[in-house]
């Protein structure tokens, strides 16, 4: 039983990274209207942004949830950098480019290569990690529940919840959020009704890329950082978005959580005697995605747009 609870906790931790990635991808998809293949590498940009600033910020004293305050500063820098790079890309590449969704998709693959190559040229392809010492499992929780979870993992889960809640509030209760939703429903109608769609689009990039940046920082905090981490996760993030219902932010949250959980629950199959090893975790996640799509062709939150 405690084993199942452990899988669940592992799933929560992994899901918090995927959700941050999938929500950002989904919001960009619904408003900019194309599948952004550079999203994974935007995550990597965020991870490196934090890596570079962490040494200077680590002088800040104090701790929050077991991690130095400097880390949260570095997290914000990572998010800001990812957002800035995304905005620059939008202004210099995507906006001037007069092409359809497929053209944009292919362009974004090119952009992804450029991001990755730039990171690799600057930092090399060796893997690195944030200079925050690992603490091991939190003893209190391990003793009480027989489940191991680290302080950094709890930080990741808490931050993911905070960010996703903030996004929810932004979308539902602010003028910008209403404009974004209007644009996602019908961009032409939004424009004729006086919404400056260009600005909303930029805001969308900022929000989507900042969330991706946060996901990237957590990915680096979780294990380590190299120029491919974001790209390696991209397929799973796409699966989460599609599972949730393309373009739906709330669906992307649900999709991210499901995919992360399925990924970490795969050992259960062997436990109950089904000979499917953990090396098939991604395959199992994708099969479940296909099954859900067969039952609900438009995804978990199908039909309900942002």
Interacting span for other proteins (CB under 8 A) from 4-12, 50-58, 155-163, 206-214: 4-12
Which residues, 206 to 225, sit near other proteins by CB under 8 A?
219, 222-224
Comparing CB distances to other proteins, the nearer of 183 and 225 is 225
Name which position in 52, 128, 168, 296 contacts other proteins (CB under 8 A).
Answer: 128
The reply to whether 145 sits near other proteins by the rule CB under 8 A is no
φ and ψ at residue 248, rounded to 5 degrees: -100, 120
The least distance separating other proteins from the CB of residue 233, rounded to whole angstroms, comes to 5
- Tell me which stretch binds other proteins (CB under 8 A): 71-79, 164-172, 186-194, 262-270: 262-270
Query: Which of 271, 244, 283, 286 is closest to 7 using CA atoms?
Result: 271
Of 69, 84, 120, 187, which one interacts with other proteins (CB under 8 A)? 120
Q: Does 143 bind other proteins (CB under 8 A)?
A: no
- Using CB under 8 A as the binding rule, the residues of this chain from 235 to 254 that contact other proteins are 236
- Using CB under 8 A as the binding rule, whether residue 126 contacts other proteins is answered as yes
Contact 301, 250 (CB under 8 A): yes
**Interface segment toward other proteins; rule CB under 8 A; list 167-175, 196-204, 230-238, 295-303:** 230-238
Comparing CA positions, the residue from 29, 90, 36 lying closest to residue 249 is: 29
Residue closer to other proteins (CB basis): 55 or 124 = 124
Binding map of other proteins across residues 150-169, x = CB under 8 A, - = no contact: x-xx----------------
Q: Given phi > 0 = left and psi -120 to 50 = alpha, else beta, which region is 250?
A: alpha
Q: How far apart are the first and last CA of the chain?
A: 38
Which residues bind to other proteins, rule: CB under 8 A? 3, 6-7, 10, 13-14, 17, 120, 124-129, 133-134, 136-137, 142, 148, 150, 152-153, 219, 222-224, 226-229, 232-233, 236, 263-267, 270-271, 277-279, 281-282
């Amino acid at each position: 039983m405690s084993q199942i609870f452990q899988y669940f906790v592992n799933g929560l931790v992994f899901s918090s990274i995927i959700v941050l990635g999938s929500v950002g991808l989904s919001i960009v998809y619904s408003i900019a209207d194309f599948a952004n293949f550079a999203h994974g590498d935007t995550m990597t940009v965020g991870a490196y942004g934090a890596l570079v600033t962490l040494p200077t910020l680590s002088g800040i004293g104090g701790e929050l949830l077991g991690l130095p305050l400097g880390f949260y500063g570095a997290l914000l820098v990572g998010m800001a950098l990812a957002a800035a790079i995304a905005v620059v890309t939008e202004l210099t590449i995507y906006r001037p480019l007069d092409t359809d969704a497929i053209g944009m998709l292919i362009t974004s693959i090119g952009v992804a290569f450029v991001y990755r190559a730039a990171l690799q040229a600057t930092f090399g392809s060796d893997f690195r990690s944030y200079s925050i010492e690992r603490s091991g499992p939190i003893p209190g929780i391990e003793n009480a529940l027989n489940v191991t979870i680290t302080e950094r993992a709890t930080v990741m889960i808490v931050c993911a919840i905070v960010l996703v809640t903030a996004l929810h509030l932004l979308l539902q209760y602010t003028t910008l959020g209403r404009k974004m939703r209007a644009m996602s429903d019908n961009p032409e109608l939004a424009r004729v009704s006086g919404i400056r769609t260009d600005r909303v689009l930029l805001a969308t990039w900022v929000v989507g890329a900042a969330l991706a940046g946060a996901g990237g920082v957590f990915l680096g905090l979780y294990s380590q950082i190299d120029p491919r981490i974001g790209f390696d996760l991209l397929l799973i993030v796409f699966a989460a978005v599609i599972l949730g219902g393309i373009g739906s932010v709330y669906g992307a949250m649900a999709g991210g959580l499901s995919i992360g959980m399925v990924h970490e629950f795969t050992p259960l199959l062997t436990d109950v005697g089904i000979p499917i090893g953990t090396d098939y975790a991604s395959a199992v996640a994708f099969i479940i995605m296909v099954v859900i799509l067969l039952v609900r062709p438009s995804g978990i939150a199908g039909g309900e747009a942002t």
